[in-house]
Amino acid sequence: MSDVMMRLAGLTKTYLKGKPGEVQVLRGVDLDLRAGEAVALVAPSGAGKSTLLHIAGLLDTPDTGSVEIAGQNVTGKGDRTRTALRRQDVGFVYQFHHLLPEFTALENITLPQLANGVSEKAAQERAMSLLDHVGVAARADHRPAALSGGEQQRVAFCRALANKPRVLLADEPTGNLDPETSDQVFDALMALVRDEGLSALIATHNMQLAARMDRTLRLDGGALRPVE
């Protein structure tokens, strides 16, 4: 189907295969993430949420099954191609921001664009527009240590979207914030996702945040099931 932005089909993953401690984490994960759709991923701790997000984000490979992004089958491609596709098509947000401490907020968002061949002027314009969108433009020249946790996470969202990915993957993007800040920062993320027309798979333990997305899937027993 043409409106499927990311298709995961029959993904399996076992750690320590044939060794003591073997763990079969994914046992056949299927997901069609449609263009412009935001899907919440909920999972008990240890169910394999990070494993799934890393495979979807081309940071790891499945044992079997395939990952397709915008109709292109990524499975089996070499490291270099997968890295290029990841840079171009996928934005990643983690629970902790992972911003570069020695660079300002603005620089953290311009650097990935410069690495992708964007001109400095265009990169800065894009960065400022994103920062403005999430309400931290006034903090553009601050380094991460001089920003609040919520501001750091907003900057991390901007960085993830800097290169205009088609798919956003997020692993507990507001998980380290207090509930009120988490709510506001999550609103900023959803506004970005909607306005940029992104397809998003966002892991959260918070069912109220999950309810703001288009649908919710639970990862349990190695497979995805809808949550009503």
Ligand X SMILES: Nc1ncnc2c1ncn2[C@@H]1O[C@H](COP(=O)(O)OP(=O)(O)OP(=O)(O)O)[C@@H](O)[C@H]1O
Window 7 to 66, contacts with ligand X (CB under 6 A)? 15-16, 23, 25, 43, 45-51
CA distance 5 to 169: 13
CA distance 228 to 28: 21
Window 189 to 228, contacts with ligand X (CB under 6 A)? none
Nearer to ligand X, 21 or 101 (CB): 21
Q: How far is the CB of 19 from ligand X (least distance, A)?
A: 9
Q: How far is the CB of 198 from ligand X (least distance, A)?
A: 22
Binding to ligand X by residue 2, rule CB under 6 A?
no
Nearer to ligand X, 123 or 224 (CB): 224
Nearer to ligand X, 49 or 166 (CB): 49
Q: How far is the CB of 61 from ligand X (least distance, A)?
A: 13
Binding to ligand X by residue 173, rule CB under 6 A?
no
Q: How far is the CB of 138 from ligand X (least distance, A)?
A: 34
Q: How far is the CB of 129 from ligand X (least distance, A)?
A: 33
Q: By CB under 6 A, name the binding residues for ligand X.
A: 15-16, 23, 25, 43, 45-51
